[in-house]
Structure 1
Amino acid sequence: MTAEPDPQQSTAPTVETADALLRPVRLGNAFEDTVGRLLETIRLGVLAPGESLPPERELAARLGVSRDTVREAIKSLADAGYLVSRRGRYGGTFLSEQLPRHTTEAARPSREEIDDALRLREILEVGAARMAAGRTLSAAERDGLFSRLADVREASPDDYRRLDSRLHLAIAEAAGSPSLVPLVAENRMRLNALLDQIPLLARNIAHSDEQHEAIVIAILAGDADGAAEAMLAHVAGSAALLHGFLD
């Protein structure tokens, strides 16, 4: 996708800075982490408006992911208005001249606020998944999880956050502790307020659907460790995007 840059203009980040930021990602959330690393490079000013990204093959090597993952991340950021593609001898993928505003006018959260919401989510929801898998669920509880899972997979973009929240609340209910549900609900309100400030990326939604299925299957199979591991990976993917867009 990226051709040779104009020899009259240096468009690549310095080697030292690029090496520090464009480091290998966690393969469990390769897409989300790739988006996060690229956003980190953009938001810290390593690339100036109008400058080009390194070639796809170089990004893939530095991040330790496939070129397909890099291509999907670049496309998602282009769709969100952060990058533009140009054809021709000096074509390639470039940082937009003007970065997009966040999708809402809400006050910009601090890194500490984001971290607090995400850490609490990890404590509550990873624990909920583990506890749910350790219980003998009723037929109604099992059917409820399947139903909520199906709802999220079929959700329209406008309804995704609501149905995603319902699935996570159903997992909290399946943990068997009534006191847990309002805590998860309150934390989801905080998370959704943050998520509403970033673009809804199609590839991330597809990946989240896969992770949701892995979580529910592990719970229904009574695999407590597998359910906790799958939920932890799911939480980490959201964290990568939130920090990437909002830090």
Structure 2
Amino acid sequence: MTGAKPREEVPDRADPLRAPRVAAIARLSAIDTVRARITMAIDLGLLQPDERLPPADEMAESFGVSTTSVSRGLALLQDEGVIVRKAGRYGGSYVRGVERGAQRRARRVGDARSVDDAPVQSFLDDDSHVHTLIDERAVLEAGFAALAAHACTPQDVGELRALVERMAETQSWAEFRNLDRAFHRGVVAAAGAPLAESLAARVNADLDPYFLPYSMGLLRDSNREHEQIVDALERGDAGAAARLTAAHVQGLHHSMYVGLTDAG
């Protein structure tokens, strides 16, 4: 109509998680992603001084990158003094000793980040995005667990227990990750709400790029929580299943993911 004002473009507020600032890590190369994930895990105490890192092929599988990218990332971290690579029978990549770790943490606290820390900063820029995703996952999976407590079959419970047992036995970091994913997918499937399963899958896919390597000790602690969830499902206790699942997922705020800018 003549004289009508052109329609103004209204920002899409339906999905604030897709705002430009939360895409910081999407601009990183695979090699820089490897560097950032390992550096963050060390700075946050998820990997301790002198601890051996998982094999390169395991990190590649869990990070969704090539083994070549992991090897190149590790080589850069060695040049930067973050890790030490050893040859021989006890060879592998190890976290640098206590002194180096203290120096890095002191720099982080003082906010004196160097150019080499730019990949880490890309992760830190997405901290609110990560926290939001964790909360969203906690709400969704708690709901699925409550439904599963009423709908799951003895076969469902048996399959979940088998996954818990395999996680307790494995020494492979990548295998634990795969079994953990299978466990949470199993709880969702046991709820008997197939049309809603894509919601949980989407949140987990969005969280995957922020996953950090961490010690088998933390993994073992996490698996004990899995066992408690299965116990609640077997009893048909929907309230306990939901509470335990929500607490399990909310723990990611303090351990397994990168939204930890306030970590001690």
- Same fold, TM-score > 0.5, yes or no: yes
Tell me if 1:229 matches 2:243. Answer: yes
**Corresponding residue of 1:19:** none
CA contact (8 A) 1:152 1:209 kept: yes
- Mapped to 1, the partners of 2:244 and 2:50 lie a distance apart of 28
Higher Rg of the two aligned structures: 2
Which AA in structure 2 matches 1:78? Answer: P
Q: How does 1:1-247 map to 2 (within 5 A)?
A: 76-79=47-50, 84-85=97-98, 95-98=101-104, 107-108=122-123, 110-135=126-151, 137-155=152-170, 156-195=172-211, 198-241=212-255, 242=257, 243-244=259-260
- Mapped to 1, the partners of 2:227 and 2:175 lie a distance apart of 18
CA contact (8 A) 1:129 1:228 kept: yes
User: Which 5+ residue runs of structure 2 have no aligned equivalent?
Assistant: 1-39, 52-81, 83-94, 109-115
TM-score, normalised by the number of residues in structure 1: 0.57
**What's the CA shift for 1:223?**
1.2
- Mapped to 2, the partners of 1:216 and 1:106 lie a distance apart of 38
Q: Matched residues, percent identical?
A: 23
Superposed CA RMSD: 3.4
SS at match of 2:103: coil
- Mapped to 2, the partners of 1:170 and 1:240 lie a distance apart of 24
Which AA in structure 2 matches 1:209? Answer: N
- Mapped to 2, the partners of 1:106 and 1:158 lie a distance apart of 26
User: Which 5+ residue runs of structure 1 have no aligned equivalent?
Assistant: 1-38, 44-72, 87-93
Which AA in structure 1 matches 2:136? Answer: L
Which AA in structure 2 matches 1:212? Answer: H
**Corresponding residue of 1:27:** none
**What's the CA shift for 1:129?**
1.1
The number of residues matched between the two structures is 166
- Mapped to 2, the partners of 1:178 and 1:98 lie a distance apart of 46
**Corresponding residue of 1:14:** none
After TM superposition, the runs of 4+ consecutive aligned structure 1 residues lying more than 6 A away are: 80-83
TM-score, normalised by the number of residues in structure 2: 0.53
- Mapped to 1, the partners of 2:175 and 2:262 lie a distance apart of 22
- Mapped to 1, the partners of 2:50 and 2:195 lie a distance apart of 41
Which AA in structure 1 matches 2:183? Answer: L
CA contact (8 A) 1:152 1:167 kept: no
- Mapped to 2, the partners of 1:110 and 1:180 lie a distance apart of 27
- Mapped to 2, the partners of 1:188 and 1:154 lie a distance apart of 24
Which AA in structure 1 matches 2:49? Answer: A
**What's the CA shift for 1:120?**
1.2
Q: Using a 3 Å threshold, how does the CA distance of structure 1 residues 218 and 166 change in structure 2: closer, same or farther?
A: same
Deviations 1:19-48 (A, max 9, x none): xxxxxxxxxxxxxxxxxxxx9xx78xxxxx
Which AA in structure 2 matches 1:220? Answer: E
**Corresponding residue of 1:31:** none
- Mapped to 1, the partners of 2:254 and 2:158 lie a distance apart of 31
Which AA in structure 2 matches 1:144? Answer: E
Q: Using a 3 Å threshold, how does the CA distance of structure 1 residues 130 and 79 change in structure 2: closer, same or farther?
A: farther
Deviations 1:78-113 (A, max 9, x none): 356689547xxxxxxx853235989x8895251221
SS at match of 2:188: helix
